[in-house]
Structure formats: C-alpha cells, structure tokens
Amino acid sequence: MGSRRSPFDPVAHGLDKDFQLTNYTFTDPRGVGWKVPQKDLLKLLDEFKDDGGKSAEEMMLQRTEFGIGSDCSVKPLPHGGLCLVETTDFFYPLVDDPYVMGQIACANVLSDIYAMGVLECDNMLMLLGVPQRFSDKEREIIIPLMMRGFRDMANMAGTKVRGGQTVLNPWCTIGGTATSVCPGTSIVCPDNALVGDVLVLTKPLGTQIAITARQWLSIPEKKKKLNALITAEDVERAYQEAVYNMCKLNKISASLMATYNAHGATDITGFGILGHAENLAKCQKEEVSFAIHNLPVIARMQHIAKGYSEFKLLQGYSPETSGGLLIAFPREQAASYCKEMDRLGASAWIIGIVEKGNRTARVIDKPRVIEVNTNIT
C-alpha cells in the first residue's frame, strides 16, 4: 500500500513558487509525444542488420541471442555459460517532484531486465540532461534530488549506480543503463508462448492519462471539459495511483515468473499494452497470437479516455511509463501466480489468451475494463 504524497513545494526548497520540473519536458508542437513512432523506429533499426543482411527479428529467430526489439540485449559470453544482459532508457520529466522523478526513471530502466526474469542487476549508470535554462540555484537544488531518487531506487533494487554522464541540454532528461551478468539458465526467454496460455498484467494502465489530466486541472480551458467527465478529487487520486505504480519495481512480479513456468514476458511502456504485446507476439517460436480481453485501468481513467479519443486507451495504445509486466503463463499456473502476487500485496490480472495465429496481437472489440483503485490510502 502507498500513502498519498504531498506535492513538491519549490518555495520550501528556496525556489520560485512557479518552478515546475515538467516545464522542462520536451513537448512536440504536433502533439505526437516524444517517442519515435514504432514503425519509423523499426525502419531506422535496419541500420543494425548484421553482415549477412539479417534483420533483428531474423537474428532473434536464431535463438542464440536477443537484441534490437527485445527488452534487453542478451549476449552469451565466451566463458562459463554466463550471459551479458543490458538495457538503457531515458525520458523527460512527467512529475514535478524531482526525487520521485528520479525514482521513476530508475524503476523504468530496471524494468527491462526484470521482463527477462533477471533479478540481480550488477551495475547501473545514470544519464542526466541538465536544462540550460535552470538557474544556478535550480540546478543545485533540483538535480541532487533527482539523483537521490534514482540512487535510492537502485539501492532498493539491490544494485548501485557506479557512473554515468551528465550534460547540458535544452530539456531535462533522466535515465540510465542496467547491466547483469548471469547464467543463461536464469533468463526467462520471451519467445515460448503456447496456444492455451493466458496473459497476465501486473500494473494497471492509464498512467499517462492520469498525469496529463492532472496537468489539465491547472489550465482553465482544459479543466472545464475535463470536469464534465471527472472530479478534481478523482483526478488527484488517479495521479497518486499512477505515481505509486510508476515508482514500483517489477522485481517481485519478475521473481515469480520462473516459479510458475512463465513462457515469456515484456514490460509495458511507451507503445501501450498493445504495442508491446505486438512486439512480444512477433518474436514467438510457435505460430501464436495474443488476444487481450480485459484492461485493468486506474479508476475513472476510462471516462477520460472516452471523452478524449486521442488517448486510445481502449484500443491498447495509450502510452505507459514504468508500466507492469505482461507475462504468458500456462493457464493453471497463471491463476497460482495471481494468487501468490495477491498474497504478497502486489497486483496481477489475467487479461487475455494465447491462441493459434500469425504472431500478432489484438484487443478484442469492447474489452472489459477492470477499475483499479486500491493502493493509495
């Protein structure tokens, strides 16, 4: 259970009352967000085709290693049956509390190695972009708070930040790398889903809707339409729920994957649940497809999504930050996994099925929305 966090007070830190970390986020004037669209990205990644002209997907089908398009790169090392598992990620501020932003960024970096069932991170590096527009005072106050949040989350995960890079930048960015050297046998390969498996999700969807809605509360012309759909109190509760979930490590969710014989997993981030389900489906060995029937969503966010079609929540494309794991399990073991997660005070929902198909994923027409609002007291 989480408790409600009081908002970051810049004045208490000796800064101007109007200081907002989210003012240093890059916003695309066309309103398409800051991710390179998935289809454009895949085209760019052709540059990494190997010498034989094999695409990343073809390389993956050889099953010797995982790389582009997977959550992590996995490289078998020439010695002792060990593998090098590495990932990197960074993004712009989406909350105003610098300490919490650091925590979210770190949990988000680690999430990719957890998606492969790798629980021990041997090293982390931190990548930081410090806004040129920060005054000396803002830099001295805000940046250490972000670094502390990142460091504390790394420590909570049982690892440590041992280096990185800091540069000046027009916007604020924070992220890093996570590296693990582990036996190949401890990796849960993502590509073993079978017809009859079911899909489990471990965090609710709707994080970015909650964050956006809360920002709209302070913009009069946005607030009016929003308040016709949802109360300010519900927006605040959803925001707290989103922050709680974004700060939560996927480590416990990952630690039980092998126990319950997981057949593959990925973590849900910027491409939305369906975007990531499509990626996971694409890499499967068997001719399977994923059908998503249920969408666990932070309470009331579905009402906002219905009022603003651009969120694409019920279509499965609403971006998430530091989202949960999407895991394929044999049916009986999925139920046991969810029960065990519940016992540990963590959440997990069965959201779909693995059926015969051509390695695609879909959200069914009129999916059932599960309203989630349990973690904030």
- The binding site for Mg ion (CB under 5 A) comprises 71, 112, 267
DSSP state of 48: G
Report the DSSP pairing between strands 264-267 and 325-329. Answer: antiparallel
What is the closest distance, in whole angstroms, from the C-beta atom of residue 11 to Mg ion in the complex? Answer: 38
3-state helix, strand, coil split of the chain in percent (to 5) is: 35, 25, 40
Task: Return the number of the residue (154 or 238) whose C-beta is nearest Mg ion.
Answer: 154
**Cβ proximity of 124 and 106 under 8 Å:** yes
Strand partners, 35: none
What is the closest distance, in whole angstroms, from the C-beta atom of residue 342 to Mg ion in the complex? Answer: 25
DSSP H helices, 193-320, are 207-216, 220-229, 232-247, 251-255, 272-282, 301-307
Task: Return the number of the residue (75 or 303) whose C-beta is nearest Mg ion.
Answer: 75
**Maximum separation of any 2 CA atoms in the chain, in Å:** 62
Nearest to 267 by CA among 319, 325, 318: 325
What is the closest distance, in whole angstroms, from the C-beta atom of residue 86 to Mg ion in the complex? Answer: 13
What is the closest distance, in whole angstroms, from the C-beta atom of residue 239 to Mg ion in the complex? Answer: 23
Question: What is the spatial distance between Cα 279 and Cα 69, in angstroms, rounded to a whole number?
Answer: 7
Task: Return the number of the residue (71 or 278) whose C-beta is nearest Mg ion.
Answer: 71
Six token digits for residue 257: 């994957």
Question: What is the spatial distance between Cα 209 and Cα 214, in angstroms, rounded to a whole number?
Answer: 9
Minimal CB distance to Mg ion: which residue?
Answer: 71
Task: Return the number of the residue (270 or 367) whose C-beta is nearest Mg ion.
Answer: 270
What is the closest distance, in whole angstroms, from the C-beta atom of residue 145 to Mg ion in the complex? Answer: 26
What is the closest distance, in whole angstroms, from the C-beta atom of residue 313 to Mg ion in the complex? Answer: 19
Question: What is the spatial distance between Cα 126 and Cα 150, in angstroms, rounded to a whole number?
Answer: 8
Sequential DSSP letters for 123-143: EEEEEEEEETTS-HHHHHHHH
Nearest to 373 by CA among 248, 245, 269, 249: 245
Question: What is the spatial distance between Cα 117 and Cα 241, in angstroms, rounded to a whole number?
Answer: 25
What is the closest distance, in whole angstroms, from the C-beta atom of residue 110 to Mg ion in the complex? Answer: 11
Task: Return the number of the residue (71 or 191) whose C-beta is nearest Mg ion.
Answer: 71
Task: Return the number of the residue (235 or 328) whose C-beta is nearest Mg ion.
Answer: 328
Q: Which residues contact 219 (CB under 8 A, 6 or more apart)?
A: none
Task: Return the number of the residue (237 or 251) whose C-beta is nearest Mg ion.
Answer: 251
Task: Return the number of the residue (177 or 302) whose C-beta is nearest Mg ion.
Answer: 177
What is the closest distance, in whole angstroms, from the C-beta atom of residue 269 to Mg ion in the complex? Answer: 5
What is the closest distance, in whole angstroms, from the C-beta atom of residue 331 to Mg ion in the complex? Answer: 25
Task: Return the number of the residue (230 or 361) whose C-beta is nearest Mg ion.
Answer: 361
